[in-house]
Structure 1
Amino acid sequence: MTDARESVLEYAPKADVAVVDKMAATYRLVLSNRDASLVSASDPAELKTVRENFLKKKLGLTDSDDDLDKAIADVMAAMKNGKPNPRLAVYYLLAEKFNKLDVFK
């Protein structure tokens, strides 16, 4: 859980650690698999999964696919530092972007 928290704090230093911990608990099975714990910015199927399963289903967003895809692209661009993109950090930044962190409180 500490590694997951640190991955979020690297990109969002003022992140709500209670929310991060709740998200980590919610996605603990995914985070336990090295491949699944990362989001590939170059894989359209992976990005579609983030849009459909996280943004639409989990956060309940009803924005257009184009708007949601742009938000994902913005987050991925902000995280572009040559390192893998930790799923928990991607999810936290997206939830923060859409003011949906309260879903995890």
Structure 2
Amino acid sequence: MVITNISSTQCQRDMNSAQIQASVLSLDGQRRFWTSSDCSPVDESNARNLKPGEQALFTVRWSGTTSQQGCVGERVPVPAGAYQVVAQFGSLHSSPEPFNLTPA
């Protein structure tokens, strides 16, 4: 995931795991299968200063299993099929990016 300062001035933002997340959803967006923050403790503050045009890169890994908020319930493999991933930074959301999950 890449966050870019598109303004003409330097900005400071907290970029901890409570602010940055990715979600795997059904193609219609109605069902949530996984969100990166479900089973991850909130990091301490990760304040960063970004100059105009500067980018911050974050890697998000998904095990291919479901999750629920608070990491409750059983985590089961998500079946093969078509899904979408959406990135979120605070209140901002990316456009959905479709992908196919194929059997191993």
- Tell me the TM-score range normalised by the shorter chain: under 0.3
Rg larger in 1 or in 2?
Answer: 2
Between the two structures, name the one with larger relative contact order (CA 8 Å, sep ≥ 6). 1
Whose helix proportion is higher, 1 or 2? 1
TM-score normalised to structure 2 length: 0.26
